[in-house]
Structure 1
Amino acid sequence: MSDKNREGKRTARERMLAERAEDEARGRRRKKLIVGGVALAVIAAAVVTGVVVQDQRSKPETPAAAPAGTIGDKNLIVPVGSDNAPSVLTVYEDPRCPACGIFEREFSPTISQLEDAGKIFTNYHIVSFIDRAVPGKGSKYAANALGCAQDAGHFRDYHDVLYRNQPDETNDAFGDKAVLINLGRQVDGLVTPSFEACVNDLEFSGWVSAVQQDFDKSNFKSTPTVLLNGQPIYPKFNNEEITPANLVKWVDAANQGKQVGTPGTHGQSPAPTSTASEPNNPSPKAG
């Protein structure tokens, strides 16, 4: 066989091997893309269940009892701070929501300082939709426990304790009433026989359902939803990212020329004579 023929066969064999190797590489890449796509879809679904309200809707339920000091239509709002403060901070959050936990751990000291200075009146809407998508009862049980803490006059401190000790979204630790009661021991004076009975008996379960029903009917679809005087400020306001410093700046700008309020109690402010300060669920522009 001539050198030329041998060279031609070698070239053809090398080309065939190269083509086969390329086909195998394409197959491996295709398999990785398929597996990766499935993984991304699973991750995306997990994230969405953490922050976005599902299409399911809570059944209509009128609360038989609401925690003491709650305000607004049907007493669905937990107020913190002075009701005559010049600005209203409205917060919608779910106890199992990871994004809410991040928000609270970063912003609760600043919010507390603004409340104590009489600059803001915070209105909390404690929703409980995550139980619909992630197995468990932690959202509802924790929301009820927060209602019990409000009824006892210790909402703010207990609220902060829950978010500092928030489990992973898929861990239903808050579905254990004993866990909720034990966390209450971090708040001086909260855990009493009345508080324990309130948590164990789900005394405010109807109220919890009514708060969620109200959220379902609103234009808000995710938590946390944070409004300053009715304007969405999370995660941005006027093209600026929300930070503790920016929150103080925005509140001070909104309060310019206005008299600060008289700081109220931390967990149970007197109900105002009017609920006009509560916004009528405007469509969020951020968050």
Structure 2
Amino acid sequence: MSQNNRGDGNRSARERLQQQRERDKARDRQRRVLIVSSAVVGVLALAAVVGVIAANADKGGGSDKAGPVVAPTGSVEGDTPAIPTGRPDAPATLQIWEDFRCPACAQFENVMRDSIHELEASGQLRTEYHLATLIDGNMGGSGSLRAANAAACAQDAGKFTPYHDALYINQPQETDDSFGDNKKLIELAAKVPGLDTPAFRSCVEDGTHDSWVVKSNEAFQKGGFRGTPTVLLNGESIFPTKGNEQLSPENLKKWVAEANKGKKPGTASPSAG
């Protein structure tokens, strides 16, 4: 074999080896995408099952505390009180019914949080958070109520979103009622710059919004929902599925885009709180 033929053969072998490596890399990338996608679907499917179980076991989750209903600053009132986030004139509305002790809610938040924030920031989506306390009724304790009151206090301070996220990121085990300790809730406020103030501490310790949270939970009970989280896009349930499609960050963005087709994104600044 001539030197040229040997050189051509070496190059051909190297090219074939390089092509095989690229094919292997492509298969690996595809496999990783499938694994991640399956994990997201699995987490949200599990969250749906856990949420239904929690709802079926619910014993009320209310509170014996009597007192005037003190709504958080900028809250949505009426029959289904809520805390709004995002631009008030965004064309699409996401309603989320959650319980801060609910592990399924934490799973939902940890998967979907970034996408919801991104859609809110672009003016595509307005979110209404409805606070429920069903785990207190299921498991005993007061962590659902105490955490919801603290989140409402954070709303007064204009810090609801980061504190809401901190609660879910640091959620204890469902059987651990550490959120029932106001000291723990104030400790977590330190993770949100500017939140740990005398006004916030007083609001948490006094249970300023307890009766408002009870009212919100009563709306959940009357709503006939299957469990937490319950997620509605423009009034249509999308958790764990919308039609035949599974909820995922990508599908949420697609569904919001479809709902907003031909509509301008919101530009109004959120109200105080």
Same fold (TM over 0.5): yes
1:215 deviates by 1.0
> Would you tell me which structure has more helix in proportion to its own residues?
2
C-alpha spacing 1:197/1:75, structure 2 compared with 1 (3 Å): farther
C-alpha spacing 1:240/1:48, structure 2 compared with 1 (3 Å): closer
Q: d(CA) in 1 for partners of 2:51 and 2:71?
A: 32
Q: d(CA) in 2 for partners of 1:111 and 1:117?
A: 10
1:55 deviates by 4.8
Q: 1:216 aligns with which of 214, 221, 236?
A: 221
The 8 Å contact of residues 58 and 213 in structure 1, kept in 2 or not, is answered as yes
1:65 deviates by 0.9
| More displaced 10-residue stretch of structure 1: 67-76 or 147-156 | 67-76
- Structure 1 SS opposite 2:70: coil
The 8 Å contact of residues 51 and 104 in structure 2, kept in 1 or not, is answered as no
Match of 1:82 in 2: 87
**Unaligned regions of 5+ residues in structure 2, if any?**
1-49
The 8 Å contact of residues 50 and 98 in structure 1, kept in 2 or not, is answered as no
4+ residue segments displaced more than 6 Å: 59-62
Match of 2:9 in 1: none
Alignment deviations for residues 88-118 of structure 1 (CA, whole Å, 9 cap, x no partner): 0000000000000000011111100100100
Q: 1:173 aligns with which of 170, 178, 193?
A: 178
Alignment deviations for residues 116-138 of structure 1 (CA, whole Å, 9 cap, x no partner): 10001101101111101102110
Q: 2:133 aligns with which of 128, 149, 165?
A: 128
Alignment deviations for residues 236-278 of structure 1 (CA, whole Å, 9 cap, x no partner): 002000000000000001101100001634xxx369xxxxxxx
Alignment deviations for residues 8-64 of structure 1 (CA, whole Å, 9 cap, x no partner): xxxxxxxxxxxxxxxxxxxxxxxxxxxxxxxxxxxxxx9866354625474797743
Alignment deviations for residues 59-101 of structure 1 (CA, whole Å, 9 cap, x no partner): 7977431111001306821000111101000000000000000
The 8 Å contact of residues 226 and 233 in structure 1, kept in 2 or not, is answered as yes
Q: 1:257 aligns with which of 238, 262, 265?
A: 262
Count matched residues.
223
Q: d(CA) in 2 for partners of 1:158 and 1:199?
A: 13
How do 1:189-204 residues align onto structure 2 when only pairs under 5 Å count?
189-204=194-209
Match of 1:50 in 2: 54
The 8 Å contact of residues 87 and 123 in structure 2, kept in 1 or not, is answered as yes
- Structure 1 SS opposite 2:191: coil
C-alpha spacing 1:228/1:270, structure 2 compared with 1 (3 Å): farther
Match of 2:99 in 1: 94
1:142 deviates by 0.2
Which of 1 and 2 has greater Rg?
1
Is 1:151 the counterpart of 2:156 in the alignment? yes
The 8 Å contact of residues 139 and 174 in structure 1, kept in 2 or not, is answered as yes
Match of 1:160 in 2: 165
What is the root-mean-square deviation in Å for CA atoms of aligned residues? Answer: 2.2
**Unaligned regions of 5+ residues in structure 1, if any?**
1-45, 272-287
Q: TM-score, normalised by structure 1?
A: 0.73
Q: TM-score, normalised by structure 2?
A: 0.76
Q: d(CA) in 1 for partners of 2:51 and 2:70?
A: 34
- Structure 2 SS opposite 1:73: coil
